[in-house]
Structure 1
Amino acid sequence: MGIRFRVNAAISFIAVIFLLVTSFILIDDRRKSIKEEIEAGTKVTVQLLESVALSRRPFLGGVDPVEGLAGFLRRAGRVRANEIRLYDQSDTLVYESPPSVYKQGRWAPEWFSRLMSPGDREFQLNMPFGYIVITPDSSRSVLDAWDELRRFGLILIIFFVSLNLAIFGLLGRAMRPLKGILSAMSLLEKGDLSIRLPDYKLPEFAAIGHTFNRMTTNLHDALAQNARLALVAQQSSDAILICDLEGNVSFWNPSAERLFGFTSSEILGQSIQTIVPDEGLGLHDSMRDRVSQSRIIEHYECQRLKKSGAIVDVEVSMAPLVDPDTDQLVGQISVLRDMTDYKSRISAEMQLQQNKRLTQLIQEKLEEERKSIARELHDEMGQNLTAIKTIGTAIANREPDEQSITRQNALTIVDVTSRIYDMVHSIIRELRPSALDHLGLADAITDLCDQHRRANPELDLQLDFEGEVNRYDEYVNITVYRVIQECLTNAAKHAVASKVSVFVSTNVKESGIAQIMIRVQDDGQGLDANASESRRFGLLGMRERVQAFNGDIKIESNMGSGTLIIADMEVVIDDAKHDV
């Protein structure tokens, strides 16, 4: 017997057991319900007749009590599921309740009636003028139970037949994979290793499918792994070559062709020493000996020879090539990476660092020279101007006549000298802000902002600090000061801004290293491609100053929406100054 028929037989057996158990439960429950219903109906009927028979109403008006009670019973008709018979004192039947009209003419099978009937026990109610016999009739309730059971049985039979047909059809569909299994085996026989069987739920098919899939997967993975390794070697950006134990090239990928200029047909079978310079043969032989001892060489920088005779700097990694079946050394595999671009990049980075250091040195020397010039202007020219102003004042004071030419000329000299003195002090502040030397960076920036407020009363200038800014040396301080000074000058003169915000923050990133951020934003007219040369040179100067401290400047601006300048620098903390 096949799987299909065995499963149908098992389902049919379970369904029959379920049907029998369900029928037993339903019949037992219905039998109890009929019993309770008949007992309750009989009890109500007896109580009703007792109350009527024992009352004095049937005897009123000189009416015969038997006839009066019979008339009452005729008017009442059939009382629930009970047959009522009235007898007089001579045992003559006076009244018998009419038969039930409910489902009249229909009866449940006799065996079912015997099974369901609770037993028709008669009750006799004795009275002075006769007696009443009450006989419970459960035939209608039994008939209802029979009808319900028959409907339920019909439903179960329909369900059972439908279930068997559905299972038979589903099993037919479940057996269809046999055709697929046979087809897959045929394709495998023809060499198609990509064929796979689905995961079947039936144990027989599952065992066949799993075994078949494992077999094809192992075969496919072995071939795919070989193909992937070949593809990696072919498409790698590094030169990959394999040499046998005699040192002859047995594999040469396209990157090796591009690096050395030899095609595969030209180099295969040739000695690897073809691409080794004469002065590097000894080192190459030493490396091959180390690899022959199952040692790996990684990232060793050396030189190799191109087909054109040019020398190329490469990074070599070598490893032994071992046969996985015999665990014997069969050759060596080498990976070579062109280091020309890398060394050029390193050289450019070193040159950039040197340029940064040179820029920083130039800025330091320039600030020293500015400081020297400012000192000379203050000490020499300032004193001379003061002396000229004092002499002019003395000459003016000796002339009693206020309208004399001598007094007027002396006062003119005093006025011109005062203006020159103020100009010299302004130049000194531009060359070297004295507040940096006497007050510190925070106060110097505050003084700079106050100067711009006085020079531009309509300018709303806001200044905020975050962190400790008075901890750096004078070269860091002057850089921060000059960047803010240039930003404020651009905002006032070129951007025509009405509001400028300056924010300076500093935080320690790691031991001895701090990050300084300068953020200046205005609501001016913004930058455009046709900005003046002076403004572009100012931005370039700021960028050079910041880059000297491993920083950079970010500028965000649109025409009519203002300008945002953010400068970030990394500087060394002056711990000695901070401790003070």
Structure 2
Amino acid sequence: MSVSSGEGQSRFAQGRLADPKSVGKPVQPEHDAAAFLAAIVESSEDAIVSKSLSGIITTWNKGAERLFGYTAEEAIGQPITIVIPDDRLDEEPAILARIRAGERVDHFETVRRHKDGSLIDISLTISPIGDGNGKVIGASKIARNISERKRAAEHQELLLREMHHRVKNLFAITSGLIGLAARSAQTPADLATRMRDRLMALSRAHEMTLPALGHQDRVGDRQATLFQLLSNILAPYGQEGSDQWQLYGRDVEISREKITNLALLFHEFATNAAKYGALSIEDGRLSITVTIEGEAVNIVWLESNSPPQDGAERGATGFGARLEQIMGQSLNLNITREWLPDGLCIRLSAPFDAIGG
């Protein structure tokens, strides 16, 4: 902890190396030990900062320059509050009170501000710095950027919520498929065959949106075209060209890393159509048209002969809307809806290189 202060470094080095008998060989000179410790601090990937008990910055390493954007010349002599957002200023007095009491603060997760005004998620470890008599004269801080970890945790939470959401939807779709199949099946065996075929098709569409459990055949390694993806997702509602749904226009190859997000997005559209829209009744119709205009891919999802519906029923609010927003942003998609007298028209537009292979 004392490596963050020049005075502290000297005393730390002197205290550790003063007795040659303790190591059985000559001691490295004090200034060499101090220089060695200073080099460790300076080359650290973490931000290592020291401050006085009044909150004034006294040392600032290269890691701090990278993390917060201020050079050592800009930061030293300034209050530590230059990197603390206004809504976090109450943390500093509480931290200083603990340091004055000789306490250490371990892995305190908080938010700090970069020179450009952006916010950074960090983990702080704060230790008191003492003089030769043990009196606390300042504090050293080690800050680590955990923004990437936080984003990964948030993404994992989203995926878990999405999985829960999708499993519920799969049950709802299965119930709807049973109802549709029961109206047209001639015998129990016919019903069983129809349901088995549709559920297997639904399973294949579901599988495309998930990585395999093994190391082989992962989603990121697969190739697919947009029509193949749509056909897999819509297969439970009949074959392409049937009365229920049709694909028109130009097929495009999907970029490997975009398969999952596109599958999730169209799965959400199909789920809503199967629960409330054109795929929920026998007379409903769905057409999907893909065109390329210049550098843009345009997709029109058109439902007709649908039962009466509104935005609340079709996932315009709640988790479905959140998922659609996130997937749309990740794909750089512009998504608009138009409610028609007998259905719904969803228009999607994106730069070709945002989804194309």
Compute the TM-score of the two structures, normalised by the length of structure 1. 0.31
Higher helix share: 1
Higher RCO by CA contacts (8 Å cutoff, separation 6 or greater): 2
Larger Rg: 1
